Structure formats: C-alpha cells, structure tokens
Amino acid sequence: MSNQKDWDESLDAMTAAPEHHKILLENTQVRVLDSWIKPGEATPVHTHRWASVLYILGTSDFVRYDTDGNVTFDSRQSAKNLESGTALWAPPLAPHYVKNIGDGEIRVISVELKD
C-alpha cells in the first residue's frame, strides 16, 4: 500500500466523489464529512487521507474495492458491528471505491483528524 502522503490530491473524497460526501465542518485540525451511498450505487475511486472516527447513521451491505477491483472489505463477512448508532475508528483509506449491495442507504458521519 502506498503512503497517504503520496496519494494524488485529486483523489480526495471531496474532489473525486463530491456526490457522496458533504463537508459539515472543516478547520486546521478536523474535517467532518457526511457520507452516503444509496442502494445499488458505487462511489468513484477516492481516498480518505486522515484517520477518523466514524458514526454510522444508516447501514447496508457493502463491498470496498481497491483501484484494481480487488475486494478489500465485505461487510457480509465482517465481525465488526456496523449497525446504526455504532462509532468506529478508521485508519486513512488508500484509493478505493465502495458499492452498496444491500437494500438500505449507507450514511456515515466521519470526523477526520488532520495531521
């Protein structure tokens, strides 16, 4: 995996996938994003440069892929609790895309901690 410092800025979630991310607050220390993926939708390839706290508002089955189309995470095979109302820690995410393969809308608030 490449170092996040080397990730192309054009792949930032707000640049590469603005139809799935909205900034709720941003300053020099944090960026708070509202992210959503409707059933059957997939995001464009994008990154999340900073580690973050995730708060799940809406959930559905999903698969995360790397830029070559390899599965890097499948919610159906995860032992993690991904139910609404759950808070999670997430490391920076390398270039990836996500496909909502379930019936519900995925909705997550991310508090990204800037370096």
- Per residue in 51-96, pLDDT (tens digit) is 999 999 999 999 999 999 999 999 999 887 789 999 999 999 999 9
Model-level pTM? 0.91
Nearest Cα neighbor of 47 from 1, 97, 85, 90 is 97
pLDDT of residue 87: 96
pLDDT of residue 81: 75
Q: What is the CATH number of the domain that holds 76?
A: 2.60.120.10
Mean of pLDDT values over 5-12: 90
Let me know if 66 is exposed, middle or buried by CB neighbors in 10 A (0-12, 13-18, 19+): middle
Strand partners, 99: 42, 63
Strand partners, 84: none
pLDDT of residue 80: 79
CA separation (Å) from 113 to 1, 28, 33? Answer: 20, 9, 11
Q: Express each pLDDT in 94-108 by its tens digit.
A: 999 999 999 999 999
Q: Which domain holds residue 103?
A: 4-113
pLDDT of residue 78: 87
Question: How many separate domains does the chain show?
Answer: 1
